[in-house]
Structure 1
Amino acid sequence: MVRKETSVEVAGESVRISSPDKIMYPQQGWTKLDVVEHFVACSDGALGGVFGRPCLLKRWPNGVEQEPFFQKRAPASAGERVAIAYPSGRTAGWFVPRSPADVVWMAQMNCVDLNPWSSRVEHLEQPDELRIDLDPTPQATFVDVRDVALAVRPVLEQHDLIGWPKTSGSRGFHIYVRIKPEWGFRQVRRAALALARAVEAEVPDIATSEWWKEDRHGVFIDYNQNARDHTIASAYSVRPTGLVSAPVSWDEVPDIEPQDFPMAGFADRYERVGDLMEAMDETSGDITSLLDLADQQDGGVEIKEYEPPSEVRLQSREELRNWWRETNDRDI
C-alpha cells in the first residue's frame, strides 16, 4: 500500500514527508524516502555546505528522469528566508537553511541536490567560498579531471590557500576554498580566473581557462561559477546520476572514480570517515595574492570589451552576438 505521508527524526526534530514511496530514481528503484534517509544520515555534513546560505530549490516532483523546476522564491512553509534584489528591480525570498531539519525539508520538497550561494546572509555580497569547478569537455577523461585537480592544490598552496575536494556526482570535480568575506563577487571571480590561468600554465595539455566552448580542450576550469547567485550542488547532494557529490581526501584523489559513491550505501562511508569538510570554516584565506597575480597576467582578467557581465550566462560566440544585438541593437 502506497503511503500518503510519514515522518522522520533528525537532530531531535520531526519532519513530515509526503509521498514517501514515490519513485525518484526509476533505474535504481529508489524512493523519495530513500533520498530523505540519505540526508538524515549525512545531515551534519550536508548542513555544513548550506548553513546560512541562500539556496535555490531545484525540485524534481516527478523524479530525476523528468525535468526539474527551479524555485528562487521559497514557499511560505519554509523557515528562514532572505530577500534578494535583482537588476530588474524584483526581489525573491530565498530559503536559508539553519538546521539538519532544514536540510531534510529540502529533500521533502523533492530536492535531491542542494544548491547554495557562495556567500552567507550575514555578508551576502561578500562570498566566503571560492569555488573551483572542473568541467571536462566531451573528449576529456576522468583521469584528466583528477590530474587537473591535483595540479590545483600546489597552486593554491603557493597563495596560502587550502582546497577542499569533492566529486561532483557526475563527470566533473569541485574544489572549495574558504576565504575571508572581504571581497565582492567580481573580485572573487577575478581571483578564480587568475587561479585558472595559473593551473592552465602548469598542465596546458589537459586544462583550459578559455571561456568560449569552441576554444576549449581537456578540462575547463569554470571560474564563472563564482559570479553572484550562481550555485553548485553542495557536498552530499545526490545527482540525477544516482551518485553523491562526495567530499574526499587529497590522498584519495589519484584513484577515485565517480562511480565509487552511489547513494545506496553512502551512509556507511559517512559513518566510517565522517564529514571530510568539517574543518573548512577554520581555514579562511586571503585572496590578495591571487588578485596581485591577476594584475600581473598578460591581458589582465577584466571583462573584455564584448564579453558579457558575469551574471549573463553565455558560453559561445553565437550566444554572445545574439545577446549583444538584443542589448545594444547593433552587431559586433
Structure 2
Amino acid sequence: MEVDGRRMRVSNLDKVLYPHVGFTKGEVLDYYARIAPVLLPHVKDRPLTLKRYPNGVEGKSFFEKDVSRHAPEWVRTVCIETPGSSRGSDKADYALIQDLPTLVWVANLASLELHIPQWTVGPRGAKRKPDLLVFDLDPGEPATIVECCEVALRLRDELAEDGIEAYPKTSGSKGMQLYSPVRVRSAERTREYAKQLAERLEKAMPELVVSRMAKNLRPHKVFIDWSQNNTQKTTVAPYSLRARPSPTVSTPLLWDEVAECETAADLVFTADEVLERVEEHGDLFEPLLAGDRPAL
C-alpha cells in the first residue's frame, strides 16, 4: 500500500489481535491512521520503544528498541546509548515516529503499544533535557482508578501552588498519569521534584498514598511512581492502544471527568470511543505542546 507517498507492505490484516472482541490487525492500522493527527505531535522527536504482539494480546509480547535491521530507509532513527541493556549492547537505533507512514509501519509490526520518554532529540540526534513532568498513578488492589482520581486532584492542586498546570490521562490499563509541560536546567530535576512531591503526599495522605516502590506497601493504596521521570524510562504515549482484552486507549481526560469518576468503568475508553472524543473535544493534551513552559 501507499501512505503519503511511501510504499510499504502490510500483512495479515484479518488476523485477530484482540480475541475477546474480534478486533483485527487491520482495525489496529485503521485506528492509528485515523488518530494520527492528534497522536503524531506527542511522539515527534521522542525515541520509540515498541511493544509488539505478533500473535495478539493473549500471545507472547516483546519490547523492541533497536530497529536498525528491518526499518525502511525512510524511517528516521536515532542512535541512543543503552547502558545496562539486557541484550548486552551499549547503544540502539530507535525509531522516531515523525509522520503517518512511520506510524502505519509501526502498527503493521503489531506494536500495539507505543512507549516514549519525557524528552526529545534534536535535529542531529542529541538528547535534550526533559520537557515533561509525569506522575504515574498505579492502584494497588482493591483500589482502582477511582482512588487514582482522588490522588490526581490533590496532585493537581499541589502543582498549581508551584505555578504548574497538570493534564490527566488514563493509562489505558488500571491507572492514570498526570503530565505537565516544564523546562529544567538539569536532566535530573523532574525526577527530584516528582519524588519530593510524592513523598509529601504520602505524609499528608498516608491512608491512600504510597511513594515507595515496595509492592507489599501498595494494597488498598495508590502508588505515585515518580521514577517514571528517570531519563532511562518511558511511559505509554497519549492515544496509544493497550494490550488489554479490549482495545483500550491511553486517553486524555477532562478534569471534570476525573472529579466525577465513581467507578473504574467510567474512565475506560476503546479505540472507537477515543476517535469520537477527539471529534468532540479535540486534543485535550495540546497544551503539552506549547513552547512557553514554566521553569521547574
User: Which TM-score band (shorter chain)?
Assistant: 0.7 to 0.9
Residues 97-122 of structure 1: per-residue CA shift (max 9 Å, x gap): 11133222211111111101111012
Do structure 1's residue 84 and structure 2's residue 86 form an aligned pair?
A: no
| 1:285 CA displacement | 2.2
- Alignment-derived partner of residue 143 in structure 2: 140
| 1:125 CA displacement | 5.2
- 1:42-81 aligned within 5 A: 42-75=35-68, 76-78=70-72, 79-81=75-77
Moved more, 61-70 or 121-130: 121-130
CA RMSD of aligned residues (A): 2.0
Maintained 8 Å contact 2:172/2:268: no
Maintained 8 Å contact 2:201/2:209: yes
- Alignment-derived partner of residue 108 in structure 1: 108
Equivalent residue letter for 2:242? R
Residues 110-151 of structure 1: per-residue CA shift (max 9 Å, x gap): 111110111101252521111110011123132211101111
- In structure 1, what is the Cα distance between the partners aligned to 2:198 and 2:226? 7
Q: 1:190 aligns with which of 189, 192, 203?
A: 192
Do structure 1's residue 124 and structure 2's residue 127 form an aligned pair?
A: yes
- Secondary structure of 2:235 counterpart: coil
- In structure 2, what is the Cα distance between the partners aligned to 1:180 and 1:100? 28
- In structure 1, what is the Cα distance between the partners aligned to 2:77 and 2:93? 5
- In structure 1, what is the Cα distance between the partners aligned to 2:7 and 2:272? 23
Do structure 1's residue 274 and structure 2's residue 282 form an aligned pair?
A: yes
Check 1:48–1:126 CA distance in 2 against 1; reply closer, same or farther (3 A cut): same
Check 1:170–1:264 CA distance in 2 against 1; reply closer, same or farther (3 A cut): same
Check 1:206–1:15 CA distance in 2 against 1; reply closer, same or farther (3 A cut): farther
- In structure 1, what is the Cα distance between the partners aligned to 2:255 and 2:7? 36
| 1:272 CA displacement | 1.6
Using CA pairs under 8 Å that are at least 6 residues apart, name the structure with larger relative contact order, 1 or 2. Answer: 2
Q: 2:294 aligns with which of 278, 285, 288?
A: 285
Residues 24-73 of structure 1: per-residue CA shift (max 9 Å, x gap): 10111000111111111210221122110001011111111112111110
- In structure 2, what is the Cα distance between the partners aligned to 1:194 and 1:12? 48
Residues 128-175 of structure 1: per-residue CA shift (max 9 Å, x gap): 111110011123132211101111101110111111110011110011
TM-score by length of 2: 0.87
Mark the runs of 5 or more structure 1 residues left unpaired by the alignment. Answer: 1-6, 288-332
Equivalent residue letter for 1:211? M
Check 1:8–1:28 CA distance in 2 against 1; reply closer, same or farther (3 A cut): farther
- 1:230-309 aligned within 5 A: 230-241=233-244, 242-256=247-261, 257-258=264-265, 260-282=268-290, 284-287=293-296
- In structure 2, what is the Cα distance between the partners aligned to 1:14 and 1:149? 44
- Alignment-derived partner of residue 30 in structure 1: 23
Residues 246-285 of structure 1: per-residue CA shift (max 9 Å, x gap): 0011122123445541123432222121111112122522
Maintained 8 Å contact 1:56/1:94: yes
Equivalent residue letter for 1:261? F
Mark the runs of 5 or more structure 2 residues left unpaired by the alignment. Answer: none
- Alignment-derived partner of residue 320 in structure 1: none
Q: Give the structure with higher Rg (CA).
A: 1
| 1:80 CA displacement | 0.9
Check 1:72–1:260 CA distance in 2 against 1; reply closer, same or farther (3 A cut): closer
